[in-house]
Amino acid sequence: MEYRLIDTQEAWDQVVRTHNGHPMQSWGWGSLKEQTGSWTAHHVVCEDAGTFVCAALVLVRKLPWPFKSICYSPRGPIVEDVADLPRAADLIAQWCREHVHAVSLKIDPGVSGVTLNDGWKQGSTILIANTAVIDTVPDEDAILKSFHSKKARQYIRKAGRMGVEVRRATREDLPAILDLYHKTAEEDNFFIHDDHYYQVAFDAMDDVNQVFVAECEGRLLAFLWNVTTPAAAFELWGGVNEEGKTKRANYLLKWTAILEAKQSGAVLYDLNGLLNDGISKFKMLFIEEPTQWIGTFDKPLSPLFSVWEGSLRLYRRLFK
């Protein structure tokens, strides 16, 4: 078994596209985390006699002595067959132990019906496992008919009749998008990053970005920011104002994003997480039932893992 690192965006994104990699495994996502935080991105491929076995975007964060580092592979590792995931997870964990001396590896694959090998333990959640997923393989009529709510289909049409138009966003739209996002976050009480984070994201993730705005007579009503590979389209961020809600702009916006994802070759559209809130109730209008991925898991790679985990728990109690 051999490991190799890929150091160019074109070569890595070819691995992601060819081998069913999630958009959170893209070069762009790793670049965003490098440019806006304390992570370093490593693009690891594991091969057996030249044959692809698995791959992973591994985000590495240095820790204070004596812990050295922790690793995280969002929605990784990459495998062609879901049945190969347990072996792949162990192989990537081995790379993390041998090459960056990590205290642990965290993964949260977007798969179900798989059990990891011994040594993995349930970890604290980063990406929510309970989600809403739409199959984008059927034709457009079949996808539309699959929506759980008749109202969702009606509101898609109503938005069009009320003059709502949806288009791909440009960088010039960012100030208005971010202004709307701040207002949405304040109204719905959720955390967002500072503006710099999203400005970097627009450029860094140009390999996977699909950003849409809904407008009426030039007025921004709503936006939706997705990342997309053939494996999936994944909703990251979105917002809607009061006029947009009245005109049902977010329904036509989501429908357009679903169709764009399908046209791009994505086989799934993931609405990214269900909580007990109004946003989740909106997402449920588009699906018959939630999808449950296997969850978030940590692989301890050092005897110091339990000490590090205990330190984190203490920090959270003191500073939450």
What confidence score (pLDDT) does residue 317 get? 57
Structure tokens at 287: 């699906």
Edge-to-edge strand ranges of the sheet holding 39-48: 2-5, 39-48, 51-62, 69-73, 102-107, 297-300, 121-122
What confidence score (pLDDT) does residue 118 get? 97
Q: Rounded distance, CA 274 to CA 131, Å? A: 5
What's the CATH fold of domain 133-292? Aminopeptidase (3.40.630)
Q: Which CATH number fits domain 2-127+293-319: 3.40.630.30, 3.40.1280.10, 3.40.190.80, 3.90.550.10?
A: 3.40.630.30
Asked if residues 185 and 191 have their Cβ atoms less than 8 Å apart, the reply is yes
Instruction: Write down how long the chain is.
Output: 320
The tens-digit pLDDT sequence of the chain (320 residues) is 999 999 999 999 999 999 999 999 999 999 999 999 999 999 999 999 999 999 999 999 999 888 899 999 999 999 999 999 999 999 999 999 999 999 999 999 999 999 999 999 999 999 999 999 999 999 999 999 999 999 999 999 999 999 999 999 999 999 999 999 999 999 988 999 999 999 999 999 999 999 999 999 999 999 999 999 999 999 999 999 999 999 999 999 999 999 999 999 999 999 998 887 778 999 999 999 999 999 999 999 998 887 777 676 655 554 45
- Answer yes or no: same fold for 2-127+293-319 and 133-292: yes
What values do phi and psi take at 278, rounded to 5? -65, -35
Q: Rounded distance, CA 107 to CA 109, Å? A: 6
Question: Structural domain boundaries of the chain?
Answer: 2-127+293-319, 133-292
Pairing of strands 51-62, 232-240: unpaired
Instruction: Name the amino acid, one letter, at 179.
Output: D
